[in-house]
């Protein structure tokens, strides 16, 4: 049918399907991509536009209801409004991944149009229909208030501080993200583009007997239907272990409900998805293994040729069994933590474009080179014939490290010789990508009569789900950090990662440490009460200091600021009887003997410095960090520096954005290249260096976990933190005070926002987020049912940045992204323990005002 829409002051006649949504028409027909499709269910607010003067969710608005209504998208803001909102969100530090930001801006406009000077509570209420997984909301609230002040003429915008270490430099990508100009993969369209769709079975474990795609190939618009036999290269892929088939073959078993059996490419998305109904599979459903106990039981079917144990980790120091016998107080408890969903706002998307004898894949990933390696193997092509290019990444948190859509889009494009875009629905994203590991942790901790820790024995079992992903490494970090940042002479820790038929588990912010941190910090609270110490005091007297050894026997360096973080929050803790406290620490870099290299290349071109690095920015502000490091090293203005990231054809491999490593590793590589540039600049200007190239590389050399050295170097560095959570009279979280040993803050404004986002993620982990699975099938497959906290639910947050100088690299900057989340759940548990004396052993915590009925 043909209708007329009044969009951004222009009348537009469009042919639409009667069942089309306003969002579909805006994005696909009118090419207004500022409104994003984050959920398709009206839950996240990323698609917000103004219709008839009111903010509406375009994904749930039938386009027929929009006829003759005045519609304003972010592209239709006035020039003045664009300047104000771009400034306000940038200056407030409210921009990270940017996927949700244009929708937030439209909500802000609707609010400020009707209420020019809203209160903070009014802003929180207006934004409760929006989700943001990056910022923690507080800086978004600050941005709306700042925009209101500018619009009312109370203040004038400013330009931020000059680039350099410790400066509130405005991140260069902010404006485009605020105004919907930043390009995410699903915003892209190219000539001749087809759409991809994936066929899966409705059960977790099944023996596939036959696949018939004959009827599907005959459906309208269908160009190709592929199965396992159409894969030209290695079918089994994986980030580290090659145990994950790109497509399940006839005669094999599926291992989880997200396994792909067939791929469809068609002229339209609707045609591609419709054709899935015509794929016929003969299969035998088999009983799934849904717990590690089932998978480890004698006689259990082997889910992989190697068996059902993916990996085992052992950490040992001293003689803990004997030492426990000497302890005045010994506590043993078993803790359980659930699967949780990353819930990044941008669903996975890839656009594969075949070239003459190669292919380019546009995507949003945490590691373009990791994806590149697997695509080369899958397609059986020379490495120089495969190019992977990151567009903007709408959040990751560890959930965009594995192959998801890239390989399927590439297979379809290679088979059809046409561009193919494949974007997951929110349900597919929830169903398919790896989660945070569910763990069971049994821990015994002993101390002397004064509360000094003596020994720790722990057993960890991690449900790694159907495939390895990074499960072995996650288990390793959970074990190596299970002591907490404390001096414990005698340690014995054993961990096992177990395959099941549940969704795969892999990297997730904190990388196994939030789980073991919940256990050790809860143990400390129980011991403190037994000894008669305050929770703050027992942490203070056991806190690591320079010269102490970790559970891995690594010697603690002089840059540790753990006790400084404890002092920073002491008053906040002691001022409330219902305050909980927890410390945490997290490695920076891959460590444990793994090759770990950061790389950068600086080129002088057209009187400007171009920074090239394969490192991925998924919202943390890496571009700003690298520009600030170059500016600090060379004295150049940011106006003369550009940054190009994550393109395997242009940028050197800088490793995956994981393990809180990029600021230190790629930051140090950039500093080294910039130091060479600074030397070359002495007595000359950029024009005189035209065409010159400067390379930087930094390798973090570490020892494996089983090293026989007396004091191995397990990681190049660690960050430390302490959090205090304060409850109000009703038992709700009223305030979080957090102190972080950051080494050196490159950009305090952006760093605070990242920490606040991590705190809110930790609060959700503690109180509201869960991911129940029955027979291997997730029970909650929509964004709105995951228990994500919203703007009206968050407490006040107070962040203290402790700068102790850090490592000798990258001006002392240490990664903080993962650590931001680690102590939160334990601090919340400690607050409730002080409030009612109940030891809560499971997450999300039971018997709180947040508990789902």
For 415-474, the pLDDT digits (tens) are 999 999 999 999 999 999 999 999 999 999 999 999 999 999 999 999 999 999 999 999
How does strand 309-317 pair with strand 222-226?
unpaired
pLDDT over 80 at 498, yes or no? yes
Task: Give me the CATH code for the 2-180 domain, please.
Answer: 1.10.150.120
Please state the φ and ψ torsions of residue 23, each to the nearest 5 degrees. -65, -45
Mean pLDDT of all residues in 254-279: 98
Q: In whole angstroms, how far apart are CA 36 and each of 57, 380, 394, 422?
A: 10, 35, 10, 16
pTM exceeds 0.85 for this model = yes
| pLDDT tens figures, 670-714 | 999 999 999 999 999 999 999 999 999 999 999 999 999 999 999
Q: Check pLDDT > 80 for residue 843.
A: yes
Characterize 13-28 residue by residue with b for buried, 16 or more Cβ atoms within 10 angstroms of its Cβ, and e for exposed: ebebeeebbbbbbbbb
Per-residue pLDDT at 543:
98
State the span(s) of the chain assigned CATH 3.90.1170.50.
190-286+345-395+400-432
- pLDDT for residue 853 is more than 80: no
Give tens-digit pLDDT for 187-237: 999 999 999 999 999 999 999 999 999 999 999 999 999 999 999 999 999
585 close to 819: Cβ distance less than 8 angstroms: yes
* pLDDT over 70 percentage in the chain: 100
Average pLDDT of every residue of the chain: 97
Task: Return the pLDDT at 852.
Answer: 84
Per-residue pLDDT at 68 exceeds 90: no
Give mean pLDDT, residues 263-286. Answer: 98
Helices (H), 219-367: 269-275, 292-296, 320-325
Q: d(Cα 353, Cα 207) in Å, to the nearest integer?
A: 34
Report which of 696, 687, 598 is spatially closest to residue 636, judged by C-alpha positions.
687
Distance of alpha carbon 354 from its chain centroid, rounded? 30
pLDDT in tens, 314-331: 999 999 999 999 999 999
Q: How many Å apart are CA 603 and CA 619, to the nearest integer?
A: 25
- CA dist 769 and 556 (Å) reads 35
101 backbone dihedrals φ, ψ, rounded to 5°: -65, -45
User: What is the C-alpha to C-alpha distance for residues 24 and 824, in angstroms, rounded to an integer?
Assistant: 39
What b-and-e string marks burial along 407-446, b requiring 16 or more CB atoms within 10 Å of the CB?
bbbbbbbbbbebbbbbbbbbbbbbbbbbbbbbbbbebbbb
| Residue 623 to residue 628: CA distance in whole angstroms | 9
CATH 3.30.365.10 residue ranges in the chain?
Answer: 312-340+435-591+711-836, 597-699
Q: Is the pLDDT score of 33 beyond 80?
A: yes
> Which residue spans of the chain are classified as CATH 1.10.150.120?
2-180
pLDDT digits (tens, 9 = 90+) for 800-822: 999 988 899 999 999 899 999 99
Strand order in the sheet with 717-727: 579-588, 717-727, 733-741, 796-802
Token pair for 334: 């078993």
- CATH code given to domain 190-286+345-395+400-432: 3.90.1170.50
Give the Cα separation of 319 and 490 in Å (integer): 6
- CATH class, range 312-340+435-591+711-836: alpha beta
b/e map 461-477, b = 16+ CB within 10 Å: bbbbbbbbbbbbbbbbb
Report yes or no: 157 and 84 within 8 Å, Cβ to Cβ. Answer: yes
CATH class, 597-699 region: alpha beta
């Amino acid at each position: 049918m043909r209708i007329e829409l009044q969009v951004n002051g222009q009348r537009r006649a469009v042919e639409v399907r009667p069942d089309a949504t306003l969002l579909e028409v805006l994005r696909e027909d009118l090419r207004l991509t500022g409104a994003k499709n984050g959920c398709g269910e009206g839950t996240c607010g990323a698609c917000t536009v103004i219709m008839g003067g009111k903010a509406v969710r375009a994904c749930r608005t039938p386009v027929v209801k929009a006829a003759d209504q005045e519609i304003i998208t972010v592209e239709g803001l006035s020039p003045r409004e664009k300047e104000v909102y771009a400034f306000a969100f940038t200056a407030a530090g409210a921009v990270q991944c940017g996927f949700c930001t244009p929708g937030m801006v439209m909500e802000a406009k609707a609010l400020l149009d009707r209420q020019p000077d809203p209160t903070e509570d009014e802003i929180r209420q207006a934004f409760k229909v929006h989700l943001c997984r990056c910022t923690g909301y507080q800086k978004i609230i600050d941005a709306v208030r700042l925009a209101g002040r500018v619009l009312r003429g109370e203040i004038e915008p400013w330009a931020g501080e000059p680039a350099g270490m410790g400066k509130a430099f405005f991140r260069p990508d902010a404006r485009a993200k605020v105004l919907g100009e930043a390009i995410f993969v699903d915003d892209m369209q190219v000539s001749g583009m087809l759409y991809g769709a994936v066929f899966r079975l409705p059960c977790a474990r099944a023996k596939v007997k036959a696949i018939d795609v004959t009827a599907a190939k005959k459906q309208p618009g269908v160009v190709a239907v592929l199965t396992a036999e159409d894969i030209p290269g290695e079918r089994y892929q994986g980030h580290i272990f090659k145990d994950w088939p790109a497509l399940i073959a006839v005669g094999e078993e599926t291992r989880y409900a997200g396994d792909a059996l067939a791929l469809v490419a068609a002229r339209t998305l609707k045609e591609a998805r419709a054709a899935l109904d015509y794929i016929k599979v003969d299969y035998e459903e088999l009983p799934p293994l849904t717990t590690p106990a089932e998978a480890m039981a004698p006689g259990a079917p082997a889910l992989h040729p190697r068996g059902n144990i993916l990996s085992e980790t052992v950490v040992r120091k001293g003689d803990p069994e004997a030492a426990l016998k000497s302890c005045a107080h010994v506590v043993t408890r078993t803790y359980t933590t659930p699967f949780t969903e990353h819930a990044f706002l941008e669903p996975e998307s890839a656009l594969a474009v075949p070239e003459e004898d190669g292919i380019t894949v546009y995507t949003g990933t945490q590691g373009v080179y990791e994806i590149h390696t697997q695509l080369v193997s899958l397609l059986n092509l020379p490495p120089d014939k495969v190019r992977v290019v990151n567009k903007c990444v709408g959040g990751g948190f560890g959930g965009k490290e594995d192959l998801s859509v890239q390989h399927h889009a590439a297979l379809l494009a290679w088979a059809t010789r046409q561009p193919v875009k494949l974007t997951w629905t929110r349900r597919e994203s929830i169903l398919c990508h790896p989660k945070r590991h569910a763990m069971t942790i049994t821990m015994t901790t002993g101390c002397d009569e004064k509360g000094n820790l003596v020994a720790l024995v722990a057993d960890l079992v991690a449900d790694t789900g159907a495939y390895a992903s990074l499960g072995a490494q996650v288990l390793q970090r959970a074990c190596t950090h299970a002591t907490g940042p404390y001096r414990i002479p005698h340690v014995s820790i054993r961990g096992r990662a177990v395959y099941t038929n549940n969704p795969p588990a892999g990297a997730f912010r904190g990388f196994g440490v939030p789980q073991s941190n919940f256990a050790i910090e809860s143990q400390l609270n129980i011991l403190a009460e037994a000894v008669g110490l305050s929770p703050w005091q027992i942490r203070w007297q056991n806190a690591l200091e320079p010269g102490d050894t970790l559970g891995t026997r690594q010697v603690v360096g002089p840059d540790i600021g753990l006790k400084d973080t404890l002092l920073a929050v002491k008053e906040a803790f002691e001022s409330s009887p219902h305050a909980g406290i927890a410390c945490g620490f997290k490695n920076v870099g891959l460590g444990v003997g793994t090759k770990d290299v950061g790389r950068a290349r600086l080129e002088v071109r057209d009187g400007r410095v171009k920074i090239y690095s394969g490192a991925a920015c998924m919202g943390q502000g890496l571009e700003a960090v690298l520009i600030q490091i170059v500016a600090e090293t060379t004295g150049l203005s940011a106006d003369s520096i550009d940054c190009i990231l994550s393109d395997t054809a242009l940028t050197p491999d800088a490793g995956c954005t994981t393990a809180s490593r990029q600021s230190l590793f790629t930051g140090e590589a950039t500093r080294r290249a910039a130091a060479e540039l600074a030397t070359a600049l002495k007595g000359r200007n950029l024009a005189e260096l035209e065409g010159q190239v400067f390379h930087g590389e930094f390798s973090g050399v570490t020892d494996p976990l089983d090293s026989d050295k007396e004091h191995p170097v397990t990681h190049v560095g660690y960050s430390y933190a302490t959090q205090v959570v304060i409850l109000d009279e009703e038992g709700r979280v009223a305030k979080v005070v957090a102190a972080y040993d950051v080494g050196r803050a490159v950009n305090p404004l952006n760093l605070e926002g990242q920490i606040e986002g991590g705190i809110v993620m930790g609060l959700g982990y503690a109180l509201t987020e869960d991911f129940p699975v029955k027979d291997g099938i997730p029970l909650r497959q929509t964004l709105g049912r995951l228990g994500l906290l919203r703007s009206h639910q968050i407490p006040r947050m107070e962040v203290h940045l402790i700068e102790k100088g850090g490592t000798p690299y990258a001006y002392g900057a240490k990664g903080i992204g993962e650590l931001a989340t680690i102590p939160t759940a334990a601090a919340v548990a400690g607050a409730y323990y002080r409030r009612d004396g109940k030891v809560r052993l499971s997450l999300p915590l039971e018997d709180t005002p947040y508990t789902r009925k």
